[in-house]
Amino acid sequence: MFDVGVLRAEVPEFYTYRYQGRGINFFIIRVDGRVLSFLDACRSCYPRRLGFEFHDGYFMCRSCKTSYAVRDIEKGISNCLPVKIDGRLEGNTYLISVSTLEGMAYMF
């Protein structure tokens, strides 16, 4: 459970969920009034386990150095994009199931 009241528009909040000795890194972000969640892992570069940097409205894959604006987060560029994870908003609380995160442990 995450309080969406702490989210600033277009600025990700990063978190880590611990499972079987691994840190499953993910972030939650508010874009165009929607709350979205993604793994801090690139769909194509995840084997390097480097994740993303975020500066001044842009994400950059630490592995391939591809950079794009926060509003393009669901599109990415080429094969470089963060892995979207399902979550749901209930009032001011954003919920992501533990099983969803645990199912993605192989990426970390």
Across the chain, which has 108 residues, the per-10-residue mean pLDDT values are 90 96 96 94 89 94 91 77 93 95 95
pLDDT value of residue 103 = 96
**What pTM did the predictor assign?**
0.91
Residue 67 phi, psi (nearest 5): -130, 145
For residue 47, which of 36, 62, 58, 34 has the smallest C-alpha distance?
62
Complete domains list, the chain, with CATH: 2-107 (2.102.10.10)
pLDDT of residue 42: 87
Residues facing residue 82 across a β-bridge: 42
d(CA 61, CA 43): 10
Cβ atoms of 69 and 12 within 8 Å: the answer is no
* Cβ atoms within 10 Å, residue 23: 13
**pLDDT value at residue 13:** 96
